[in-house]
Structure 1
Amino acid sequence: MSEIRTQVQFVDIDSDMAGQRIDNFLRNHLKSIPKSMVYRILRKGEVRVNKKRVKAEYKLQDGDVVRIPPVTMEEKAEEVAPSTKLSKVAELENMIIFEDDHMLILNKPSGTAVHGGSGLKFGAIEALRALRPQARFLELVHRIDRDTSGILLVAKKRSALRHLQAQFREKTVQKYYFALVMGEWKPSCKVVNAPLLKNEVNSIVRVNPNGKPSETRFKVMEKFAQATLVQASPITGRTHQIRVHAQYTGHPIAWDDRYGDRRFDAYTAKVGLDRLFLHAANIKFVHPGTEEWMEINAPMGTKLEKALSGLRKQ
């Protein structure tokens, strides 16, 4: 293992960086340094703001000067930034469907996690940072499941992150997914209100009266012999919400490894499907810079389009 040796740094805080806690600022600034070490240098008073010691909960202000002490630690192989020559990293460049000074929007492929961890060396955010080494700031605005494809918002400024996350919290962001579900979805079933409870041990989510209020709106888009293409719009943002609500109605999504039906998977395999048919296709929100409404569409991948074509021929 090689060593990481950082130099002492002095960072001038501007309005874009102001408002965040010092511990979160350091964790973003020292991405290769373990969280435990970040809190250690804070406890020891080695981090100074305006030449004074601060606690982890201190919120940075415009004009502050942060002194970050030199840190030495062993570098593990998996902590090295992903190479831009890796095909999985390089292909993300072609999946960027919008980019300006405030944000980047990715049409994330199925099978790519939004971030590394749990045995994954890297995810979409780490790959994007490797592709954009000059970017001072790149952070996920929200998350979507690893096997779900489609729209993923990434902020390029702290102010944009705060602006966009506030919209998600206030539920003003409109998100629309396409899902292929088993059987005939009744057009009269337009809203599913069912509380969801997550098992913290295995991350399985179930409808449970003790769970958090959860609402998804559904609309039939196209009917097939033994399946229905629906548009799903989650009003709340619970883990696996669309997938569990679809299962709850008796219409699980194709190739859902947690909440699906193997008989339905076998049926859709005949038209070439071998992945979760859940795609974040459309989003509407207020642009953090212009304050104007934006609408972004992400086309479905070839595999999903071919599966639909096959079902139509049946």
Structure 2
Amino acid sequence: MFVTAAIVVQDGWVELQQLRYVVAIAETTSFTRAAERCLVVQSALSHQVARLERELGARLFERTSRRVRLTPAGEAFLPAARQCLAAAERAAAEVAAAIGEVRGRLAVGLIPTVTAADVPAAIREFHDRYAQVRISLRVGASDDLIEQVRDGSLDVAFLGLPTTQTPRGVAVRELARGHLIAVVAPDHPLAGEPAVSLKRLAAEVFVDLPPGTAGRAQSDQAFAAAGLDREVAYEVTSADYVPRLVGPGLGVAMLPSGYAPQLAGVVTIEITDAPARVEYVIWAETNPTPAATAFVELLGIDPAPVSGSR
């Protein structure tokens, strides 16, 4: 088995390096920044892209003095270019694995409120063991991370979901179960209470994640099940921003019990009828990369597939 550095396009050849240049230009929207990323002089990069465009018979980029953007042909070409690069990298990683080495890439995703696993420590240990693996980390929403593992842009992801939802189309292991707690300002009337009910919290203005996210669903479902309405006046895309709004008294929030104590400038309170949540780790349902398999094993988990519901 071997990996060739080029692919055939009709009677010509497209080199993998040309594909890397196209992806870099698309992501940086600049020939200059793309050349810097690829560690090549700009003239060489421009020459190779022009050569590729001649091979394809179409311009991939519109170039102006202010910006560079993909043409319709470029938009169509980019996903295939990424797939070719990923396939070439995966093939090289499989060859290395066949001779007992772990190489390639490990793309990890997580939500900010994961507490069941020390992800930075796991990544550090993995890097120490497998220094030839290129590691990246992406923070996002649970639903987005599930989709990215399914489409191969992430190898492993750590999620938090309501008990009514399980990851679909991926290999999955449950890490921990927990519940949400209330987060209020230090001078809030509830700050001295040992516990509070959802009914009492429903009278407050809330800070929460955007509708449609798994984190928001945990709270929405709990209030709906209790027959309660609430006002969410402040929507944030990351739980890290919650204390900046709750601390000054603009609203209250509900966050995972394991995560909320890390926040400064706010007070946490138990909820008597608190929503529950589950933390999971997921990876590719079929044919995970050697790096993903090694990372899951490092977590002390058997990587044999156990799928979520389809």
Q: Same fold judged by TM-score > 0.5?
A: no
Between the two structures, name the one with larger relative contact order (CA 8 Å, sep ≥ 6).
2
The TM tier, using the shorter chain, reads 0.3 to 0.5
Which has the larger Rg?
Answer: 2
As a proportion of its length, which structure holds more helix? 2
With normalisation by structure 2, the TM-score equals 0.32
With normalisation by structure 1, the TM-score equals 0.32
